[in-house]
Amino acid sequence: MAAPLTLSDVEQRAAERIEPAWHDYFAGGAGRERTLRENEEAWTRYRPRQRVLAGIERVDLRTTVVGLDLATPLLVAPAAYQRKADPGGEVSMARACAAAGAGLCLSTFSHAAPFEIAEAAPDLPRLWQVYVFRDRGITDELIARALDAGFAAVVLTVDLPVLGSRDRERRHSWHLPADELPAMRLARERGLGGDDLEVIDPTVDLAYLERLSTTLPVPVVVKGVLEPEDALRVAEHGARGIVVSNHGGRQLDGVVPTAEALPGIVDAVGDRLDVLVDSGIRRGVDVAVALALGARAVLAGRLPLWGLAAGGEEGARTVLELLRDETATALHLMGVAAASAVPRDAVRRE
């Protein structure tokens, strides 16, 4: 199947190729899926201000996140089981990111090991997402493998001490094929049983964050923060960055959409941490709005995954390039010359 031509048709194209159960896994949220819906809607509550006669030849999309240079303010969010969307899985996604100038955050529950990503896309800006296992020595070994493969930061996900109530997944009554994942094979070798989400340690706390922050040779980014009070605590315990995230609406249904949470967190810690955001990003104008609200970059999860499902590596690359180009177009029409310097007054709230 050919790559999608527009961002608006990519999920429909993906649904034609992917198994229905796996489509529900990737597409679904928690509970009534209120937060899932509102994540997308919340970005549209901000209106970009069109400015004219700005004299801009071309928008500079470059930015820096925790010392990592990005050609565009866009990373692919960590998503597990990408080979269920397309046989190329995370390796194809990595190549697509490299071609489009985006970064990649690789999930703990990836089908591909970190060294495979490094071999497939050696110049790709890449971050390693961490779920903390009940046996923390396993987590330490997984982090070490990622750092040996050249991953430049660790992204500690903190909003999944337990799994959210996900109706779509329950209806299918299936277990995730954990033994396909390098991280889970290591866990089995070390004597840790259970499915992938059963091995996660629910007791992770600020002391663990501080241990990571003070012992790792790379920056630690904390993913899954929605409240300014938690952002301040994260900053005080050594994090270098933060991802404003509600896990794509997959954890606690009814929590605030990230577009609404972002400004308050930027006001609280934006001078101390690099702030990123995810959840509900569907168009380049959403990226532009996020930058205006103070994010240094955004993470997109479902959209590039639908591209991968719709057209493999080419589909994922096309989606990322469309998202990148739409971002540049939006900023240009807003009279903004650089993605790294979008003023707050470039958007207004409805």
The residues annotated with a catalytic role in the active site are 247
Q: How far apart are alpha carbons 276 and 26 in whole angstroms?
A: 22
DSSP 338: B
Q: What share of the chain is helix, strand, coil (3-state, %, to 5)?
A: 45, 15, 40
Q: Is 81 helix (H, G, I), strand (E, B) or coil?
A: coil
Q: Is the CB of residue 93 less than 8 Å from the CB of residue 104?
A: yes
CB 72 within 8 A of CB 329: no
Residue 225's DSSP bridge partners are 244
* Residues linked to residue 221 through DSSP beta bridges, in sequence order: 155, 241
Distance CA 142, CA 136 (A): 10
